[in-house]
Protein backbone atom coordinates (compact mmCIF):
# COMPACT_ATOMS: atom_id res chain seq x y z
CA UNK A 1 0.00 0.00 0.00
CA UNK A 2 1.16 3.55 -0.77
CA UNK A 3 2.58 4.85 2.55
CA UNK A 4 2.50 8.45 1.34
CA UNK A 5 -1.21 8.13 0.51
CA UNK A 6 -1.93 6.55 3.92
CA UNK A 7 -0.13 9.44 5.60
CA UNK A 8 -2.09 12.01 3.58
CA UNK A 9 -5.52 10.46 4.27
CA UNK A 10 -4.65 9.99 7.96
CA UNK A 11 -3.93 13.70 8.36
CA UNK A 12 -7.16 14.55 6.52
CA UNK A 13 -9.25 12.06 8.52
CA UNK A 14 -8.01 13.48 11.84
CA UNK A 15 -9.56 16.83 10.93
CA UNK A 16 -12.93 15.00 11.07
CA UNK A 17 -12.38 14.35 14.79
CA UNK A 18 -12.97 18.03 15.62
CA UNK A 19 -15.92 19.37 17.62
CA UNK A 20 -17.77 20.59 14.52
CA UNK A 21 -18.51 16.92 13.68
CA UNK A 22 -21.09 14.87 15.61
CA UNK A 23 -20.20 11.96 17.89
CA UNK A 24 -21.39 9.30 15.41
CA UNK A 25 -19.14 10.68 12.65
CA UNK A 26 -16.12 11.01 14.98
CA UNK A 27 -16.55 7.40 16.15
CA UNK A 28 -16.76 6.09 12.57
CA UNK A 29 -13.64 8.01 11.54
CA UNK A 30 -11.72 6.86 14.64
CA UNK A 31 -12.62 3.24 13.83
CA UNK A 32 -11.16 3.66 10.33
CA UNK A 33 -7.99 5.21 11.75
CA UNK A 34 -7.61 2.36 14.27
CA UNK A 35 -8.16 -0.38 11.70
CA UNK A 36 -4.91 -1.98 10.49
CA UNK A 37 -6.47 -2.41 7.06
CA UNK A 38 -6.46 1.11 5.63
CA UNK A 39 -8.65 0.40 2.57
CA UNK A 40 -11.79 2.03 4.06
CA UNK A 41 -9.78 5.01 5.28
CA UNK A 42 -8.27 5.57 1.82
CA UNK A 43 -11.56 5.15 -0.04
CA UNK A 44 -13.34 7.49 2.40
CA UNK A 45 -10.72 10.26 2.34
CA UNK A 46 -8.47 9.99 -0.74
CA UNK A 47 -10.49 12.78 -2.37
CA UNK A 48 -13.46 15.02 -1.67
CA UNK A 49 -16.80 13.84 -3.01
CA UNK A 50 -17.10 16.38 -5.78
CA UNK A 51 -20.16 18.49 -6.29
CA UNK A 52 -20.03 17.84 -10.01
CA UNK A 53 -22.18 19.08 -12.85
CA UNK A 54 -24.92 16.64 -11.80
CA UNK A 55 -24.59 17.26 -8.06
CA UNK A 56 -23.35 14.58 -5.66
CA UNK A 57 -23.46 10.81 -5.84
CA UNK A 58 -21.54 8.38 -3.68
CA UNK A 59 -21.50 5.62 -1.09
CA UNK A 60 -22.98 6.64 2.26
CA UNK A 61 -20.69 6.84 5.27
CA UNK A 62 -18.26 9.06 7.16
CA UNK A 63 -15.50 10.83 5.22
CA UNK A 64 -14.85 13.50 2.63
CA UNK A 65 -15.49 11.05 -0.25
CA UNK A 66 -18.81 9.80 1.15
CA UNK A 67 -22.45 10.91 1.23
CA UNK A 68 -23.14 12.21 4.74
CA UNK A 69 -24.67 15.22 6.48
CA UNK A 70 -21.45 17.22 6.03
CA UNK A 71 -20.92 16.65 2.31
CA UNK A 72 -24.66 17.20 1.72
CA UNK A 73 -24.52 20.19 4.08
CA UNK A 74 -21.61 21.78 2.21
CA UNK A 75 -23.44 21.28 -1.11
CA UNK A 76 -26.59 22.94 0.24
CA UNK A 77 -24.68 25.80 1.87
CA UNK A 78 -22.76 26.45 -1.36
CA UNK A 79 -25.97 26.33 -3.41
CA UNK A 80 -27.65 28.69 -0.89
CA UNK A 81 -24.77 31.14 -1.20
CA UNK A 82 -25.01 31.08 -4.98
CA UNK A 83 -28.79 31.50 -4.99
CA UNK A 84 -28.56 34.49 -2.65
CA UNK A 85 -26.03 36.10 -4.99
CA UNK A 86 -27.84 35.21 -8.23
CA UNK A 87 -31.31 36.32 -7.13
CA UNK A 88 -30.34 39.15 -4.77
CA UNK A 89 -33.14 41.35 -6.21
CA UNK A 90 -35.95 38.94 -5.24
CA UNK A 91 -38.00 39.55 -2.11
CA UNK A 92 -38.14 35.80 -1.45
CA UNK A 93 -35.99 33.09 -3.05
CA UNK A 94 -37.55 29.61 -2.94
CA UNK A 95 -36.56 25.99 -3.59
CA UNK A 96 -38.38 22.66 -3.85
CA UNK A 97 -37.01 19.54 -2.16
CA UNK A 98 -37.87 15.93 -3.01
CA UNK A 99 -36.42 12.61 -1.92
CA UNK A 100 -36.69 8.91 -2.71
CA UNK A 101 -36.84 5.67 -0.72
CA UNK A 102 -33.13 5.30 -0.02
CA UNK A 103 -31.59 5.14 3.42
CA UNK A 104 -30.94 8.69 4.69
CA UNK A 105 -32.83 10.36 1.82
CA UNK A 106 -35.43 11.82 4.22
CA UNK A 107 -32.70 12.78 6.70
CA UNK A 108 -30.63 14.55 4.03
CA UNK A 109 -33.78 16.28 2.73
CA UNK A 110 -34.67 17.58 6.19
CA UNK A 111 -31.10 18.78 6.81
CA UNK A 112 -31.04 20.51 3.42
CA UNK A 113 -34.39 22.19 4.21
CA UNK A 114 -32.93 23.49 7.47
CA UNK A 115 -29.83 24.85 5.74
CA UNK A 116 -31.75 26.60 2.94
CA UNK A 117 -34.15 28.15 5.46
CA UNK A 118 -31.28 29.22 7.73
CA UNK A 119 -29.97 31.14 4.72
CA UNK A 120 -33.30 32.96 4.30
CA UNK A 121 -34.57 30.75 1.44
CA UNK A 122 -38.16 29.48 1.44
CA UNK A 123 -38.43 25.72 1.15
CA UNK A 124 -41.25 23.63 -0.35
CA UNK A 125 -40.57 20.20 1.12
CA UNK A 126 -42.51 17.16 -0.09
CA UNK A 127 -44.33 15.39 2.77
CA UNK A 128 -43.12 11.97 1.63
CA UNK A 129 -41.11 10.35 -1.14
CA UNK A 130 -41.92 11.58 -4.66
CA UNK A 131 -40.60 10.98 -8.21
CA UNK A 132 -37.79 13.15 -9.57
CA UNK A 133 -39.99 14.46 -12.44
CA UNK A 134 -42.60 15.65 -9.95
CA UNK A 135 -39.97 17.69 -8.10
CA UNK A 136 -38.97 19.24 -11.47
CA UNK A 137 -42.66 19.99 -12.09
CA UNK A 138 -42.99 21.60 -8.63
CA UNK A 139 -40.11 24.03 -9.33
CA UNK A 140 -41.98 25.40 -12.35
CA UNK A 141 -45.43 25.21 -10.75
CA UNK A 142 -44.37 27.06 -7.58
CA UNK A 143 -42.05 29.55 -9.31
CA UNK A 144 -38.95 28.36 -7.45
CA UNK A 145 -35.42 29.46 -8.32
CA UNK A 146 -33.93 26.02 -7.66
CA UNK A 147 -34.68 22.56 -6.37
CA UNK A 148 -32.93 19.43 -5.19
CA UNK A 149 -33.80 15.77 -4.96
CA UNK A 150 -32.08 13.23 -2.75
CA UNK A 151 -31.68 10.11 -4.87
CA UNK A 152 -29.03 7.88 -6.38
CA UNK A 153 -31.44 6.84 -9.12
CA UNK A 154 -30.82 3.16 -9.96
CA UNK A 155 -27.47 2.76 -8.15
CA UNK A 156 -26.99 -0.05 -5.58
CA UNK A 157 -28.40 0.42 -2.06
CA UNK A 158 -25.09 1.63 -0.56
CA UNK A 159 -25.36 4.84 -2.61
CA UNK A 160 -27.22 8.07 -2.26
CA UNK A 161 -27.13 11.26 -4.28
CA UNK A 162 -28.08 14.92 -4.50
CA UNK A 163 -29.29 16.37 -7.80
CA UNK A 164 -29.61 20.14 -8.19
CA UNK A 165 -32.01 21.97 -10.52
CA UNK A 166 -32.42 25.56 -11.75
CA UNK A 167 -35.51 27.74 -12.12
CA UNK A 168 -36.59 26.16 -15.43
CA UNK A 169 -36.95 22.77 -13.70
CA UNK A 170 -33.93 21.31 -15.50
CA UNK A 171 -30.73 20.06 -13.93
CA UNK A 172 -28.11 22.74 -13.54
CA UNK A 173 -25.88 23.36 -16.57
CA UNK A 174 -23.27 25.93 -17.56
CA UNK A 175 -22.54 28.56 -16.31
CA UNK A 176 -24.40 27.84 -13.06
CA UNK A 177 -22.89 24.37 -12.60
CA UNK A 178 -19.27 25.53 -12.40
CA UNK A 179 -20.22 28.64 -10.41
CA UNK A 180 -22.03 26.51 -7.81
CA UNK A 181 -19.09 24.10 -7.69
CA UNK A 182 -16.82 27.07 -6.90
CA UNK A 183 -19.16 28.16 -4.08
CA UNK A 184 -19.39 24.62 -2.65
CA UNK A 185 -15.60 24.26 -2.70
CA UNK A 186 -15.27 27.39 -0.54
CA UNK A 187 -17.53 26.01 2.21
CA UNK A 188 -15.90 24.79 5.41
CA UNK A 189 -17.84 22.62 7.86
CA UNK A 190 -18.01 25.49 10.37
CA UNK A 191 -19.73 27.64 7.68
CA UNK A 192 -22.74 25.30 7.31
CA UNK A 193 -25.89 26.76 8.87
CA UNK A 194 -27.56 23.62 10.21
CA UNK A 195 -30.09 25.42 12.45
CA UNK A 196 -33.20 25.91 10.30
CA UNK A 197 -35.97 28.48 10.29
CA UNK A 198 -39.20 26.46 10.47
CA UNK A 199 -41.25 29.51 9.37
CA UNK A 200 -39.65 29.23 5.93
CA UNK A 201 -40.37 25.50 5.44
CA UNK A 202 -43.72 24.60 3.83
CA UNK A 203 -44.81 20.96 3.45
CA UNK A 204 -46.34 20.10 0.07
CA UNK A 205 -47.86 16.93 -1.37
CA UNK A 206 -51.35 15.99 -2.51
CA UNK A 207 -52.14 19.28 -4.31
CA UNK A 208 -48.95 18.96 -6.42
CA UNK A 209 -49.77 15.28 -7.15
CA UNK A 210 -53.21 16.18 -8.45
CA UNK A 211 -51.96 19.02 -10.65
CA UNK A 212 -49.09 16.89 -11.96
CA UNK A 213 -51.42 14.03 -12.96
CA UNK A 214 -53.97 16.38 -14.56
CA UNK A 215 -51.22 17.98 -16.67
CA UNK A 216 -49.91 14.57 -17.75
CA UNK A 217 -53.46 13.60 -18.76
CA UNK A 218 -53.40 16.41 -21.37
CA UNK A 219 -50.71 14.42 -23.24
CA UNK A 220 -53.17 11.68 -24.20
CA UNK A 221 -53.48 11.38 -27.99
CA UNK A 222 -55.73 8.31 -28.27
CA UNK A 223 -58.44 8.50 -25.56
CA UNK A 224 -60.87 6.51 -27.72
CA UNK A 225 -58.40 3.62 -27.93
CA UNK A 226 -58.16 3.62 -24.13
CA UNK A 227 -61.96 3.55 -23.83
CA UNK A 228 -62.05 0.50 -26.08
CA UNK A 229 -59.23 -1.25 -24.20
CA UNK A 230 -59.55 0.19 -20.70
CA UNK A 231 -59.19 -3.33 -19.26
CA UNK A 232 -55.71 -3.78 -20.82
CA UNK A 233 -53.81 -5.94 -18.33
CA UNK A 234 -50.89 -3.85 -17.07
CA UNK A 235 -48.40 -5.32 -14.59
CA UNK A 236 -46.54 -2.47 -12.90
CA UNK A 237 -43.73 -2.52 -10.34
CA UNK A 238 -42.09 0.50 -8.67
CA UNK A 239 -39.14 -1.73 -7.57
CA UNK A 240 -39.62 -0.49 -3.98
CA UNK A 241 -39.50 3.16 -5.03
CA UNK A 242 -41.35 6.43 -5.50
CA UNK A 243 -43.64 5.36 -8.34
CA UNK A 244 -45.64 3.14 -5.98
CA UNK A 245 -48.70 5.43 -5.65
CA UNK A 246 -48.49 8.03 -8.38
CA UNK A 247 -47.94 5.82 -11.44
CA UNK A 248 -51.01 3.60 -10.79
CA UNK A 249 -52.98 6.81 -10.05
CA UNK A 250 -51.84 8.31 -13.36
CA UNK A 251 -52.76 5.14 -15.27
CA UNK A 252 -56.22 5.24 -13.70
CA UNK A 253 -56.55 8.94 -14.62
CA UNK A 254 -55.88 7.97 -18.25
CA UNK A 255 -58.74 5.48 -18.02
CA UNK A 256 -56.98 2.15 -17.40
CA UNK A 257 -58.79 -0.07 -14.92
CA UNK A 258 -56.74 -3.28 -14.77
CA UNK A 259 -53.43 -2.40 -13.09
CA UNK A 260 -51.85 -5.50 -11.60
CA UNK A 261 -49.32 -4.89 -8.78
CA UNK A 262 -46.32 -6.97 -7.71
CA UNK A 263 -47.09 -6.82 -3.95
CA UNK A 264 -43.58 -7.73 -2.73
CA UNK A 265 -42.12 -4.83 -4.75
CA UNK A 266 -44.76 -2.32 -3.61
CA UNK A 267 -42.95 -2.38 -0.25
CA UNK A 268 -41.05 0.92 -0.05
CA UNK A 269 -37.50 0.06 1.05
CA UNK A 270 -33.98 1.42 0.63
CA UNK A 271 -32.73 -2.17 0.92
CA UNK A 272 -34.44 -3.11 -2.37
CA UNK A 273 -34.96 -6.60 -0.85
CA UNK A 274 -36.27 -8.42 -3.94
CA UNK A 275 -33.60 -7.30 -6.43
CA UNK A 276 -29.81 -7.25 -6.69
CA UNK A 277 -30.02 -3.86 -8.43
CA UNK A 278 -33.12 -1.62 -8.64
CA UNK A 279 -32.38 -0.81 -12.26
CA UNK A 280 -35.03 -1.45 -14.95
CA UNK A 281 -32.14 -1.87 -17.42
CA UNK A 282 -31.24 -5.12 -15.60
CA UNK A 283 -33.33 -8.15 -16.66
CA UNK A 284 -33.39 -9.49 -13.09
CA UNK A 285 -35.15 -6.33 -11.85
CA UNK A 286 -38.21 -7.19 -13.96
CA UNK A 287 -38.23 -10.95 -13.32
CA UNK A 288 -40.90 -10.88 -10.57
CA UNK A 289 -43.13 -8.64 -12.68
CA UNK A 290 -42.76 -10.99 -15.65
CA UNK A 291 -43.73 -13.95 -13.45
CA UNK A 292 -46.83 -12.00 -12.39
CA UNK A 293 -47.57 -11.28 -16.09
CA UNK A 294 -47.37 -15.00 -16.90
CA UNK A 295 -49.77 -15.80 -14.03
CA UNK A 296 -52.28 -13.17 -15.15
CA UNK A 297 -51.83 -13.37 -18.94
CA UNK A 298 -50.99 -9.65 -18.96
CA UNK A 299 -50.58 -7.42 -22.02
CA UNK A 300 -47.57 -5.42 -20.83
CA UNK A 301 -45.07 -5.24 -17.97
CA UNK A 302 -43.83 -1.84 -16.79
CA UNK A 303 -41.27 -0.92 -14.12
CA UNK A 304 -39.87 2.33 -12.80
CA UNK A 305 -36.57 2.84 -10.98
CA UNK A 306 -36.44 4.11 -7.35
CA UNK A 307 -36.89 7.80 -8.22
CA UNK A 308 -39.37 7.03 -11.06
CA UNK A 309 -37.57 8.85 -13.83
CA UNK A 310 -36.62 5.72 -15.85
CA UNK A 311 -39.08 3.18 -17.20
CA UNK A 312 -38.45 -0.37 -18.38
CA UNK A 313 -40.97 -2.57 -20.20
CA UNK A 314 -41.44 -6.19 -21.24
CA UNK A 315 -43.77 -7.45 -23.97
CA UNK A 316 -44.84 -10.79 -25.45
CA UNK A 317 -43.30 -11.80 -28.75
CA UNK A 318 -45.13 -13.73 -31.48
CA UNK A 319 -44.42 -17.01 -29.68
CA UNK A 320 -46.00 -15.72 -26.46
CA UNK A 321 -42.59 -15.42 -24.73
CA UNK A 322 -41.92 -12.36 -22.55
CA UNK A 323 -39.00 -10.28 -23.81
CA UNK A 324 -37.42 -7.10 -22.49
CA UNK A 325 -37.56 -3.97 -24.62
CA UNK A 326 -34.34 -1.96 -24.36
CA UNK A 327 -34.04 1.81 -23.95
CA UNK A 328 -33.36 2.48 -27.63
CA UNK A 329 -36.39 0.44 -28.66
CA UNK A 330 -38.57 2.19 -26.08
CA UNK A 331 -37.49 5.60 -27.38
CA UNK A 332 -38.18 4.42 -30.95
CA UNK A 333 -41.71 3.33 -30.04
CA UNK A 334 -42.42 6.64 -28.29
CA UNK A 335 -41.09 8.78 -31.16
CA UNK A 336 -42.91 6.71 -33.81
CA UNK A 337 -46.19 6.91 -31.92
CA UNK A 338 -45.96 10.61 -31.07
CA UNK A 339 -45.07 11.67 -34.61
CA UNK A 340 -47.71 9.38 -36.13
CA UNK A 341 -50.48 10.65 -33.85
CA UNK A 342 -49.42 14.30 -34.04
CA UNK A 343 -49.64 13.95 -37.84
CA UNK A 344 -52.97 12.07 -37.79
CA UNK A 345 -54.59 14.59 -35.42
CA UNK A 346 -53.36 17.61 -37.38
CA UNK A 347 -51.06 18.84 -34.64
CA UNK A 348 -47.94 18.97 -36.87
CA UNK A 349 -47.59 22.60 -38.04
CA UNK A 350 -43.98 22.53 -39.25
CA UNK A 351 -42.18 24.02 -36.25
CA UNK A 352 -41.98 20.90 -34.08
CA UNK A 353 -38.85 19.10 -32.91
CA UNK A 354 -37.66 16.05 -31.01
CA UNK A 355 -34.42 15.47 -29.10
CA UNK A 356 -32.15 12.49 -28.57
CA UNK A 357 -28.71 12.02 -27.06
CA UNK A 358 -25.72 11.36 -29.31
CA UNK A 359 -25.39 7.75 -28.06
CA UNK A 360 -29.04 6.90 -28.77
CA UNK A 361 -30.08 5.01 -31.92
CA UNK A 362 -29.82 6.83 -35.24
CA UNK A 363 -33.14 5.28 -36.33
CA UNK A 364 -34.85 8.10 -34.42
CA UNK A 365 -33.27 10.52 -36.91
CA UNK A 366 -34.68 8.46 -39.78
CA UNK A 367 -38.21 8.71 -38.31
CA UNK A 368 -37.82 12.47 -37.72
CA UNK A 369 -36.44 13.09 -41.24
CA UNK A 370 -39.24 11.19 -42.97
CA UNK A 371 -41.86 13.12 -40.97
CA UNK A 372 -40.06 16.44 -41.62
CA UNK A 373 -39.63 17.06 -37.90
CA UNK A 374 -36.39 18.66 -36.71
CA UNK A 375 -34.06 16.54 -34.58
CA UNK A 376 -31.63 17.93 -32.01
CA UNK A 377 -28.73 15.71 -30.94
CA UNK A 378 -27.33 16.47 -27.49
CA UNK A 379 -24.93 15.07 -24.92
CA UNK A 380 -25.74 12.10 -22.70
CA UNK A 381 -27.72 13.10 -19.65
CA UNK A 382 -31.22 14.45 -19.56
CA UNK A 383 -30.07 17.88 -18.46
CA UNK A 384 -28.93 18.44 -22.06
CA UNK A 385 -32.37 17.52 -23.42
CA UNK A 386 -33.84 19.99 -20.89
CA UNK A 387 -31.33 22.61 -22.10
CA UNK A 388 -32.57 22.22 -25.70
CA UNK A 389 -36.19 22.63 -24.51
CA UNK A 390 -35.18 25.77 -22.60
CA UNK A 391 -33.33 27.15 -25.63
CA UNK A 392 -36.29 26.52 -27.98
CA UNK A 393 -38.99 27.73 -25.59
CA UNK A 394 -41.32 30.16 -27.34
CA UNK A 395 -39.70 29.41 -30.73
CA UNK A 396 -40.51 25.80 -31.55
CA UNK A 397 -42.88 23.12 -30.28
CA UNK A 398 -41.38 20.22 -28.32
CA UNK A 399 -42.86 16.77 -29.04
CA UNK A 400 -40.61 14.46 -27.06
CA UNK A 401 -37.06 13.48 -26.22
CA UNK A 402 -35.29 10.35 -25.09
CA UNK A 403 -32.06 8.55 -24.37
CA UNK A 404 -30.95 4.95 -24.61
CA UNK A 405 -30.71 4.61 -20.82
CA UNK A 406 -34.47 4.15 -20.41
CA UNK A 407 -35.39 7.82 -20.07
CA UNK A 408 -38.10 9.62 -22.04
CA UNK A 409 -40.01 12.89 -21.69
CA UNK A 410 -43.18 13.63 -23.66
CA UNK A 411 -43.95 17.00 -22.04
CA UNK A 412 -42.24 20.35 -21.54
CA UNK A 413 -43.85 21.18 -18.17
CA UNK A 414 -41.28 18.79 -16.65
CA UNK A 415 -37.57 19.12 -17.46
CA UNK A 416 -36.22 15.69 -16.59
CA UNK A 417 -36.99 12.18 -17.79
CA UNK A 418 -40.34 11.04 -16.51
CA UNK A 419 -41.47 7.46 -15.83
CA UNK A 420 -44.88 8.71 -14.67
CA UNK A 421 -45.93 10.13 -18.04
CA UNK A 422 -43.93 7.43 -19.87
CA UNK A 423 -45.88 4.59 -18.22
CA UNK A 424 -49.23 6.26 -19.01
CA UNK A 425 -48.31 6.95 -22.64
CA UNK A 426 -46.77 3.49 -23.18
CA UNK A 427 -50.02 1.93 -21.93
CA UNK A 428 -51.89 4.19 -24.36
CA UNK A 429 -49.60 3.03 -27.19
CA UNK A 430 -50.43 -0.59 -26.31
CA UNK A 431 -54.17 0.24 -26.52
CA UNK A 432 -53.66 2.10 -29.83
CA UNK A 433 -51.72 -0.84 -31.27
CA UNK A 434 -54.50 -3.20 -30.15
CA UNK A 435 -56.96 -1.06 -32.12
CA UNK A 436 -54.92 -1.94 -35.21
CA UNK A 437 -54.81 -5.63 -34.34
CA UNK A 438 -51.19 -5.42 -33.21
CA UNK A 439 -49.30 -6.21 -30.05
CA UNK A 440 -46.61 -3.79 -28.85
CA UNK A 441 -44.02 -6.30 -30.06
CA UNK A 442 -45.56 -6.30 -33.56
CA UNK A 443 -45.66 -2.50 -33.55
CA UNK A 444 -41.94 -2.44 -32.74
CA UNK A 445 -41.06 -4.95 -35.47
CA UNK A 446 -43.16 -2.99 -37.98
CA UNK A 447 -41.09 0.12 -37.19
CA UNK A 448 -37.95 -1.87 -38.11
CA UNK A 449 -39.52 -3.03 -41.38
CA UNK A 450 -40.40 0.57 -42.26
CA UNK A 451 -37.21 2.33 -41.15
CA UNK A 452 -34.48 -0.33 -41.17
CA UNK A 453 -33.17 -2.61 -38.45
CA UNK A 454 -30.86 -1.48 -35.69
CA UNK A 455 -29.24 -3.39 -32.84
CA UNK A 456 -27.54 -1.65 -29.95
CA UNK A 457 -25.35 -2.95 -27.17
CA UNK A 458 -23.88 -1.17 -24.21
CA UNK A 459 -20.65 -2.44 -22.67
CA UNK A 460 -19.47 -1.04 -19.34
CA UNK A 461 -15.93 -1.70 -18.15
CA UNK A 462 -15.80 -1.15 -14.38
CA UNK A 463 -12.61 0.32 -12.88
CA UNK A 464 -13.04 1.07 -9.18
CA UNK A 465 -11.24 3.49 -6.88
CA UNK A 466 -8.38 5.89 -7.49
CA UNK A 467 -6.38 3.55 -9.75
CA UNK A 468 -9.53 2.79 -11.77
CA UNK A 469 -10.22 6.48 -12.40
CA UNK A 470 -6.66 6.91 -13.71
CA UNK A 471 -6.98 3.82 -15.92
CA UNK A 472 -10.23 5.12 -17.47
CA UNK A 473 -8.56 8.46 -18.20
CA UNK A 474 -5.67 6.68 -19.93
CA UNK A 475 -8.04 4.51 -22.02
CA UNK A 476 -9.79 7.65 -23.32
CA UNK A 477 -6.43 9.21 -24.21
CA UNK A 478 -5.38 6.06 -26.08
CA UNK A 479 -8.59 5.92 -28.15
CA UNK A 480 -8.26 9.62 -28.98
CA UNK A 481 -4.61 9.33 -30.04
CA UNK A 482 -5.05 6.02 -31.90
CA UNK A 483 -8.57 5.86 -33.38
CA UNK A 484 -9.59 2.61 -35.12
CA UNK A 485 -9.22 2.61 -38.91
CA UNK A 486 -11.99 0.03 -39.32
CA UNK A 487 -14.82 -1.41 -37.23
CA UNK A 488 -15.62 -5.09 -37.82
CA UNK A 489 -14.08 -4.86 -41.29
CA UNK A 490 -15.88 -1.69 -42.35
CA UNK A 491 -13.72 1.45 -42.76
CA UNK A 492 -14.25 4.32 -40.31
CA UNK A 493 -15.64 7.25 -42.32
CA UNK A 494 -16.23 9.78 -39.53
CA UNK A 495 -14.63 10.47 -36.15
CA UNK A 496 -16.17 12.92 -33.67
CA UNK A 497 -14.12 14.10 -30.70
CA UNK A 498 -16.37 16.08 -28.37
CA UNK A 499 -13.42 16.91 -26.13
CA UNK A 500 -11.95 19.09 -28.89
CA UNK A 501 -15.28 19.65 -30.72
CA UNK A 502 -13.62 18.46 -33.92
CA UNK A 503 -14.86 15.97 -36.49
CA UNK A 504 -12.71 14.39 -39.17
CA UNK A 505 -13.47 12.20 -42.17
CA UNK A 506 -10.35 9.96 -42.30
CA UNK A 507 -10.71 8.97 -45.96
CA UNK A 508 -10.96 12.50 -47.39
CA UNK A 509 -9.13 14.24 -44.54
CA UNK A 510 -11.97 16.79 -44.27
CA UNK A 511 -12.32 18.42 -40.84
CA UNK A 512 -15.07 20.52 -39.29
CA UNK A 513 -16.18 21.91 -35.93
CA UNK A 514 -18.94 20.28 -33.87
CA UNK A 515 -21.68 22.68 -32.78
CA UNK A 516 -22.25 21.80 -29.12
CA UNK A 517 -22.83 23.97 -26.01
CA UNK A 518 -19.60 22.83 -24.35
CA UNK A 519 -16.94 20.14 -24.62
CA UNK A 520 -17.46 16.61 -23.29
CA UNK A 521 -15.19 13.62 -22.88
CA UNK A 522 -16.85 11.54 -25.62
CA UNK A 523 -15.46 9.90 -28.76
CA UNK A 524 -17.55 8.58 -31.64
CA UNK A 525 -16.65 6.47 -34.67
CA UNK A 526 -18.97 5.91 -37.64
CA UNK A 527 -18.21 3.20 -40.19
CA UNK A 528 -19.19 2.92 -43.84
CA UNK A 529 -21.77 0.18 -43.17
CA UNK A 530 -23.71 2.39 -40.73
CA UNK A 531 -22.21 1.12 -37.46
CA UNK A 532 -21.65 3.66 -34.68
CA UNK A 533 -19.41 3.36 -31.62
CA UNK A 534 -19.48 5.91 -28.80
CA UNK A 535 -17.04 5.86 -25.88
CA UNK A 536 -17.31 7.88 -22.68
CA UNK A 537 -16.49 7.63 -18.99
CA UNK A 538 -19.61 7.48 -16.79
CA UNK A 539 -20.30 10.70 -14.90
CA UNK A 540 -21.85 8.91 -11.93
CA UNK A 541 -20.19 5.48 -11.69
CA UNK A 542 -16.62 4.05 -11.88
CA UNK A 543 -17.07 2.88 -15.48
CA UNK A 544 -15.98 3.54 -19.03
CA UNK A 545 -18.95 2.99 -21.34
CA UNK A 546 -19.01 1.74 -24.93
CA UNK A 547 -22.21 2.19 -26.95
CA UNK A 548 -22.36 0.03 -30.08
CA UNK A 549 -24.98 0.31 -32.83
CA UNK A 550 -25.07 -1.86 -35.95
CA UNK A 551 -27.55 -1.70 -38.82
CA UNK A 552 -29.45 -4.27 -40.87
CA UNK A 553 -32.65 -4.76 -42.83
CA UNK A 554 -36.00 -6.47 -42.28
CA UNK A 555 -38.48 -7.15 -45.08
CA UNK A 556 -41.26 -8.35 -42.79
CA UNK A 557 -42.08 -8.96 -39.12
CA UNK A 558 -41.03 -12.60 -39.35
CA UNK A 559 -37.40 -11.61 -40.01
CA UNK A 560 -36.86 -10.01 -36.57
CA UNK A 561 -35.10 -13.02 -35.03
CA UNK A 562 -32.93 -13.50 -38.13
CA UNK A 563 -31.99 -9.79 -38.21
CA UNK A 564 -31.23 -9.88 -34.47
CA UNK A 565 -28.95 -12.92 -34.81
CA UNK A 566 -27.03 -11.36 -37.72
CA UNK A 567 -26.66 -8.12 -35.76
CA UNK A 568 -25.40 -9.95 -32.66
CA UNK A 569 -22.64 -11.55 -34.73
CA UNK A 570 -21.74 -8.10 -36.02
CA UNK A 571 -21.76 -6.60 -32.50
CA UNK A 572 -19.30 -9.30 -31.38
CA UNK A 573 -17.04 -8.40 -34.30
CA UNK A 574 -17.23 -4.71 -33.34
CA UNK A 575 -16.30 -5.55 -29.75
CA UNK A 576 -13.32 -7.58 -31.01
CA UNK A 577 -12.23 -4.59 -33.13
CA UNK A 578 -12.26 -2.44 -29.98
CA UNK A 579 -10.37 -4.99 -27.91
CA UNK A 580 -13.32 -5.64 -25.59
The packing angle between helices 206-217 and 419-435, to 10°, is: 30
pLDDT for res 63: 97
Peptide bond into 175 cis (omega under 30): yes
What is the Cα–Cα distance from 357 to 526, expressed in whole angstroms? Answer: 16
- Looking at the chain, the whole-number percentage of residues with pLDDT higher than 90 is 91
- Which residue segments constitute the domains of the chain, with CATH numbers given? 47-204 (3.40.120.10), 213-451 (3.40.120.10), 453-578 (3.30.310)
Alpha helices in 403-546 (DSSP H): 419-435, 440-451, 465-481
CB atoms within 10 A of CB 558: 11
Cα dihedral value 94, 99, 103, 107, nearest 10: 20
Residue 193 has pLDDT above 90, yes or no: yes
Residues contacting 285, CB < 8 A, separation 6+: 239, 275, 277, 278, 279, 303, 312
**How far apart are alpha carbons 362 and 67 in whole angstroms?**
37
Q: Is the pLDDT of residue 123 over 80?
A: yes
| pLDDT (tens digit per residue) in 485-527 | 999 999 999 999 999 999 999 999 999 999 999 999 999 999 9
Separation CA 204–CA 160 (nearest Å):
23
pLDDT of residue 520: 92
Chain segment 130-180, per-residue pLDDT in tens: 999 999 999 999 999 999 999 999 889 999 999 999 999 999 988 999 999
Q: Tell me the helix, strand and coil percentages in the chain, rounded to 5.
A: 45, 20, 35
Annotated catalytic residue, options 153, 421, 534, 577: 153
SS3 of 215-267: HHHCCCCCHHHHHHCCCCCEEEECCCCCHHHHHHHHHHHHCCCCEEECHHHHC
The answer to whether the beta carbons of residues 407 and 327 sit under 8 Å apart is: yes
For 92-96, what is the mean pLDDT?
A: 98
Better-scored residue on pLDDT, 18 or 2 = 18
Helices and strands (H and E) in the chain: how many: 18, 23
Active site residue 80: no
Predicted local confidence at residue 210, as pLDDT: 98
pLDDT of residue 471: 86
User: How does pLDDT run across 225-268, given as a tens digit for each residue?
Assistant: 999 999 999 999 999 999 999 999 999 999 999 999 999 999 99
* Mean pLDDT (whole number) for 351-380: 96
pLDDT of residue 540: 63
Query: Which pTM value belongs to this model?
Result: 0.94
Amino acid sequence: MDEQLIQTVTVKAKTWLGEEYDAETRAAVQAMLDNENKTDLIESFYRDLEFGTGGLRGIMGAGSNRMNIYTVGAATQGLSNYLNKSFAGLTQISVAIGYDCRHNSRKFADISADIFSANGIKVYLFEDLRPTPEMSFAIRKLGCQSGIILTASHNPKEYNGYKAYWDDGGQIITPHDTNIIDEVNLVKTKDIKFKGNKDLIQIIGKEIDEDFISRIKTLSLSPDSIKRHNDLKIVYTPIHGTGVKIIPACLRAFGFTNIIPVPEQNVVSGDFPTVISPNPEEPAALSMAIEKAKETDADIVMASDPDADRMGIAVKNNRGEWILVNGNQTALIFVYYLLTRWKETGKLKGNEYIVKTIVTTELIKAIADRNKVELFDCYTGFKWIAAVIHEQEGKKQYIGGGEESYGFLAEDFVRDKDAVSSCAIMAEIAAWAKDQGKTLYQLMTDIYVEYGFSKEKGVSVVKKGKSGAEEIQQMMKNFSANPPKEIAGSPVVLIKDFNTLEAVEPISGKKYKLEMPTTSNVLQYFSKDGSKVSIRPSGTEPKIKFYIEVRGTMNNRGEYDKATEAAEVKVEAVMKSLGL
